[in-house]
Structure 1
């Protein structure tokens, strides 16, 4: 009977803790909604530009200066271009180009962010102004230096020469961003003991321009095509690169 009483007491405490946790989450989202309304967000389903911090501790930037909202997580070089899709109760889910949900925004403006650390979602709050997430322009000397450094990085990681090619004259900035995102994705796979074997045939990476963004991998050649007419939305994300390289795609660590 004593044991049963202890178990019952423990279950009661867990129930109270779960209720308190749910109440805390609800309060945080309500506070976020009020804050966004006070800032005059143009739409209840579009968070304003700025810096956000999730309850999980992850910080990220949102940039809405262009035609599509952009997101970049701190200490990451990739910018995610988001696409809205309707969800129940009037919510909007913002997904990347691989269809993975990144943000969920309620009608009241409360934001939930989804990452590898918090796949079930973590409430996020606006904490201040942010910076532009426009892609960088390097110029020819720094561009060649970047290509050389990225080639060395992957060659050392894989133990053989990995050739890097960049063929684009309409949007250098977009090609540079694609180069960084693609080589980072390959390096991430190379560090994974369970996935590294998928790169056994990789010999070259080519970034080029075309009429439609795409990623293909065949006979050791990884080709990433960017579409300058679409701006940053015309640059394939690391998720698409990973899906092209891995037989069984895994969620990237944003």
Structure 2
């Protein structure tokens, strides 16, 4: 009994000490104005200190674990998720509070940079946004040279992927030059990705019935048009990776025609 009488107060004291420690943490100024998640991970509402500037090309990770590279080393910011092949060309716009909103070619906000150096990532899974932290410098996002043979093979692979997704043959054609071949190769992969995404939903499969062939050509500005069963994608090599429409824009055009 003596031993039992000794252990009970000791256990109670330990519990009380832990509770007091937790209460003191919760009452701290850092947590008083933000959540525990904010305190441990991201930017807090009361944060007033400017963060160090991120490298022009850097890798980031969101609080949900989504990794991505943001390349601001050239005229057009580029973003690539680690889980996807596609590179997104973004248009920066200054918001009412001085934040910079990075939008895709549909005008949707993908990333927001605050005046203090914080970042918020917006995705289909987290449309309300999730904070992101810079992990360090990363290689620049650039197109690689593509030989005529490699372009032909990529076009065939893109056609095969799109045909498998749709359940029928969707041919891919292109009018390429040495200067436009890298971008046309990239656009063909993005077009096949859009078709695969369309095939993943009942509504998308109905929209996919409108597409019989994909044609990629050079032009003055990047665009996409669906007419008479032909998905015409226009690329602008001088704009680099920003010179072709995104998979979201291709899907949008297919859904509205």
1 CA distance for matches of 2:206 and 2:131? Answer: 37
Compute the displacement of 1:36 (Å).
Answer: 4.4
In structure 2, relative to structure 1, the CA distance for the partners of 1:208 and 1:25 (3 Å cut) is same
Asked whether the 8 Å contact 1:136–1:176 carries over to 2, the reply is: no
**Are residue 226 (structure 1) and residue 239 (structure 2) matched?**
no
**Are residue 29 (structure 1) and residue 37 (structure 2) matched?**
no
TM-score (norm. length: structure 1): 0.81
For residues 38-68 of structure 1, the C-alpha deviation after alignment (integer angstroms, 9 at most, x for no partner) is xx45xxxxx7321100001111011122111
In structure 2, relative to structure 1, the CA distance for the partners of 1:33 and 1:154 (3 Å cut) is farther
- RMSD over aligned CA atoms reads 2.5
In structure 2, relative to structure 1, the CA distance for the partners of 1:19 and 1:116 (3 Å cut) is farther
SS of corresponding position for 2:35: helix
2 CA distance for matches of 1:174 and 1:35? Answer: 38
SS of corresponding position for 2:126: coil
Corresponding pairs, count: 225
For residues 141-194 of structure 1, the C-alpha deviation after alignment (integer angstroms, 9 at most, x for no partner) is 121111111111111221211110111213211111111111101111012222
**Are residue 127 (structure 1) and residue 135 (structure 2) matched?**
yes
**2:154 aligned to 146, 155, 172, which one?**
146
Rg (Cα) greater in structure = 2
In structure 2, relative to structure 1, the CA distance for the partners of 1:24 and 1:188 (3 Å cut) is same
Asked whether the 8 Å contact 2:61–2:68 carries over to 1, the reply is: yes
User: 1:94 is matched with which residue?
Assistant: 102
For residues 216-244 of structure 1, the C-alpha deviation after alignment (integer angstroms, 9 at most, x for no partner) is 00111000001123222221111211111
Asked whether the 8 Å contact 2:50–2:116 carries over to 1, the reply is: no
Unaligned segments of structure 1, at least 5 residues: 1-15, 42-46, 249-254
**Are residue 79 (structure 1) and residue 72 (structure 2) matched?**
no
SS of corresponding position for 2:59: strand
Asked whether the 8 Å contact 1:103–1:111 carries over to 2, the reply is: yes
Asked whether the 8 Å contact 1:54–1:113 carries over to 2, the reply is: yes
**Are residue 194 (structure 1) and residue 207 (structure 2) matched?**
no
1 CA distance for matches of 2:180 and 2:66? Answer: 31
Compute the displacement of 1:124 (Å).
Answer: 0.1
**Are residue 177 (structure 1) and residue 200 (structure 2) matched?**
no
SS of corresponding position for 1:68: coil
